[in-house]
């Protein structure tokens, strides 16, 4: 059958978006998901997102990485909000269900602010850090960010003994100023560098505050695909009121045979 899809991107993190409110898409067919995300034989994307009905929220977002695995995706969540507005499900505010629970968001034209869940633990891993912002993230500072082979170096950490069971995303970070950091990310589930990672930049902002690289609670993150901003409040030993902010845009729509 022919399936209508939309392509969205949030700072270069790109997604196939499908309106599945009438259950037209077989969620158990992981082979079709990976085929659609294939950049040579399919539409091509970092992930695929289904928008579905949800009784206690405006909609439900189901996110698949390009390998068919599921996780939370921050940029995917922002794009889902933009898509929901396009579908007239929401206007300027949204509440939606994701794999890690309910999220609140606002949208003004193509600028989306997504509230993330509180983070209560930041762990030191030798000279690096680890925290979970809906997806697990290993954070490593580096002075050679631009010349780094992210796919090779990221895979070494992602498949290391420490993360053998569950895997992790890996973020390489360089400090630009007191409130600005550059970041490159190796994404679990994509198994390669992506141009941006929403949960990753969120993790980096909190990690840099935790180790004292910034005292600001508004942090600017420069990903390969564009700029994002993370705001938060530090309350005792936890980070609360965390917002991931940036653009989310429709690129095109089309029909694909599945």
Annotated catalytic residue within 37, 73, 79, 245: 73
| 88 CA to centre of own chain | 23
Annotated catalytic residue within 37, 79, 197, 245: 197
The CA-based diameter of the chain, rounded to the nearest angstrom, is 54
Whole-number Å distance between alpha carbons of 256 and 243: 34
Alpha helix stretches (DSSP H) within 19-120: 30-37, 74-86
Between strands 192-194 and 218-223, the pairing is unpaired
The secondary element (H helix, E strand) that includes residue 5 is strand 2-10
- 245 carries an active-site annotation: no
Q: Is 135 helix (H, G, I), strand (E, B) or coil?
A: coil
Whole-number Å distance between alpha carbons of 87 and 99: 21
Residue 110: how many other CB atoms lie within 10 Å:
15
Q: Kindly write down the DSSP assignment for every residue of 145-170, as one continuous string.
A: TTT--HHHHHHHHHTSGGGTTT--EE
Closest Cα partner for 172 from 164, 159, 184?
Answer: 184
Please answer whether residues 193 and 184 qualify as being in contact, where contact means their C-beta atoms are separated by less than 8 angstroms: yes
Whole-number Å distance between alpha carbons of 223 and 232: 19
- Catalytic machinery residues: 73, 197
């Amino acid at each position: 059958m022919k399936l209508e899809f939309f392509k969205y991107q949030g700072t270069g993190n790109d997604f196939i978006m499908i309106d599945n409110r009438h259950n037209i898409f077989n969620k158990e067919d992981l082979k079709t998901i990976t085929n659609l995300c294939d950049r040579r034989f399919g539409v091509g994307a970092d992930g695929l997102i289904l928008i579905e009905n949800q009784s206690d929220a405006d909609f439900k977002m189901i996110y698949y990485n390009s390998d068919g695995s599921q996780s939370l995706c921050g940029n995917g969540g922002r794009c889902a909000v933009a898509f929901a507005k396009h579908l007239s499900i929401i206007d300027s505010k949204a509440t939606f269900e994701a794999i890690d629970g309910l999220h609140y968001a606002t949208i003004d034209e193509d600028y989306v602010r997504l509230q993330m869940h509180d983070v209560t633990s930041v762990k030191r891993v030798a000279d690096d850090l680890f925290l979970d912002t809906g997806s697990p993230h290993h954070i490593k500072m580096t002075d050679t960010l631009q010349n780094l082979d992210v796919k090779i170096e990221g895979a070494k950490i992602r498949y290391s003994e420490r993360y053998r069971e569950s895997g992790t995303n890996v973020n390489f970070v360089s400090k630009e100023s007191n409130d600005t950091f550059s970041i490159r990310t190796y994404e679990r589930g994509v198994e390669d560098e992506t141009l941006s990672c929403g949960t990753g930049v969120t993790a980096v902002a909190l990690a840099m505050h935790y180790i004292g690289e910034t005292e600001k609670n508004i942090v600017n993150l420069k990903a390969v695909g564009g700029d994002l901003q993370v705001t938060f409040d530090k309350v005792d030993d936890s980070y609360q009121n965390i917002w991931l902010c940036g653009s989310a845009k429709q690129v095109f729509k089309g029909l694909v045979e599945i």
